[in-house]
Amino acid sequence: MKNLRYAFLVAGCCIAILSFSFKEDLFLVSKNLDIFASLYKEININYVDDTNAPQLMKTGIDAMLDSLDPYTEYVPESEIEDYKLKYVSTQYGGIGASTVIIDGKLFVNEVSEGYPAYKDEIKAGDQIIKINGIEIKGKERAQISQLLRGPKGTPVDLVFIREGKELTKKIIREKIKQPNVSYSGMVGDGIGYIKLDKFLENSGQEVKDALLNINKQNPKGIILDLRNNGGGILQEAVKIVNLFVNKDQLIVTQKGKNVEKTIAYKTQYPPVSIDLPLVVLVNANSASASEIVAGSLQDLDRAIVVGQRSYGKGLVQQTFNLPYNSMVKVTVAKYYTPSGRCIQKLDYAHKNADGIAERFADSTMLMFQTKAGRNVYSGNGVYPDVVINADKLSPVTINMINKSLFFNYANQYRKNNPKLESAKTFQLSDADYAAFVNTLADKDLTYQSKTERLLSDLRIEAEKENKSAEVKADLENLKYKLTVSKKTDMAVHKSEIKRVLETQIVSRYFYEKGRIEQSFQYDKELMGAKALFGNQPQMLAILKGEGNYKVIGKPMKETASVD
């Protein structure tokens, strides 16, 4: 009885402490809201110049949220539709054309097959000058999108220039659906392939439909491509994993400060392909829901992960409605894969003196084990079982992309060559590449390589240490050699430049599907995945922990990246 009274006493004290703490928190919130409201009022009334009250408030809100993490953000009423399109829905009313701004001019970049722009023969390279009678010169990207989008069945009047002629077309908007699965099918050697670009509404069903169609062809393995997939809806990730693992299997657990934010997600349905060998492709841009899929399938020893280390976003966001049709997206939890690891890379709770979130220290990383006993680690993303180092574009190629030189040549190539036989096998001939190089004679190809930047830094440091006179000759000699070297870049990086140019050209004939198919012939990760299916003993060895972390190519270096 005495022990019981003691327990009640302790419980009562705890409740009292929690109650006091809760009241104190409420007081601090109320106090600071009062201060903020009073400050906002005084600024708007007394500041020497006119102020934009809504913009002032948004600036304050954004600054407050920026101190937390990049995923916690305020969404005003004017941006709600764009938010839904980016994070939730894949549908909107429009014409099915993407645009690009080059030297202040708006051009059609690509049209989507089967949609209004395609049906009305709008072409990449068309320069749009008016939309519904409104001149678009000087308009921001968001304003242009608002002009092109609208309710299904409404017209869009376009005035554009093609080959020097001004043309006008009235295009009727349709419901544009951007699929989550941009490509699926067989990629040779009896291998099925599904490319998933995002985890928005219905992505689980889209992957299931693609998988069922592939299964009709009796594949010997499946490749799920999550490269460059920045994630989306957590529940859709669980549905996709469910296609490959049994019912009632724990896939991911989210844990937040509030108890109600701690949720365990399990599979709910029988699988579609429980025994079919599976490879998941990831890279440094595979994040969030992509990492849930890759990490859980790795933890459950259901798939072999191939590629590069994933992004490392282990945070969960939830939206909350605010007054006047606005809302806020808040990071409410971290997620943990079946082994118990969290793959979050950056520590937003402890930023450095410059306000920058840094990686969790290696000493804080913990080891976990997969279902079969393989070692996996927390923090720093999902590490592949088979590492295939990514190709990095050279400075000359990046320079030409930024200056839209590939874009312009692809348009001219399409004009001069009305037909292309096949997307899958297309390669640019040496004669065509030489013709492309000739078009660059009057173009500005000025750029600074990494070596040149380092040389510039070295010159500055030499001046600081009063040693510039001593090393001047050496620096000038090195600068000359770099200048000479840059003149040969078009030859040295020919194969890389050709691949980028081929991608642009193919899209003019075969659109997105053709662009993906053409890239297969150069895809090292895809080739590595296909090779695994041809070596079953190696696959089994990896899944047993006897052959993981194999590197194909040069040793991979750890490089810091910023969200």
Neighbour count for residue 237 (Cβ, 10 Å): 29
Q: b/e map of 474-488 (b: 16 or more CB within 10 Å)?
A: eeeebeeeeeeebee
CA angle 114, 285, 240 (to 5 degrees): 65
Rounded distance between C-alpha atoms, residue 67 and residue 491, angstroms? 47
Q: b/e map of 275-295 (b: 16 or more CB within 10 Å)?
A: ebbbbbbbbbbbbbbbbbbbb
- The candidate with the shortest Cα–Cα distance to 189, out of 551, 537, 529, is 529
- The candidate with the shortest Cα–Cα distance to 550, out of 339, 531, 559, is 531
64 CA to centre of own chain: 25
Rg (alpha carbons) of the chain, rounded to whole number: 28
With beta carbons less than 8 A apart as the criterion, state whether 74 and 63 touch. no
The per-residue DSSP string of 244-276 comes to TS-TT-EEEEEE-SSGGG-EEEE--S--S-SSS
Catalytic center residues: 288, 299, 313
Neighbour count for residue 27 (Cβ, 10 Å): 10
Neighbour count for residue 162 (Cβ, 10 Å): 16
Rounded distance between C-alpha atoms, residue 399 and residue 386, angstroms? 32
* Residue whose entry in the numeric block shows the structure tokens 């600054």: 63
H helices present in 216-332, as ranges: 234-242, 289-299
Rounded distance between C-alpha atoms, residue 303 and residue 132, angstroms? 51
| Pairing status of strand 304-307 against strand 386-388 | parallel
- The candidate with the shortest Cα–Cα distance to 396, out of 450, 351, 355, is 450
With beta carbons less than 8 A apart as the criterion, state whether 411 and 125 touch. yes
Cα distances (Å, whole numbers) of residue 502 to 209, 402, 429, 521: 31, 17, 10, 12
In 342-482 the beta strands, taken as DSSP E runs, fall at: 346-347, 358-359, 367-369, 375-377, 386-388
Rounded distance between C-alpha atoms, residue 49 and residue 27, angstroms? 34
Rounded distance between C-alpha atoms, residue 374 and residue 440, angstroms? 53
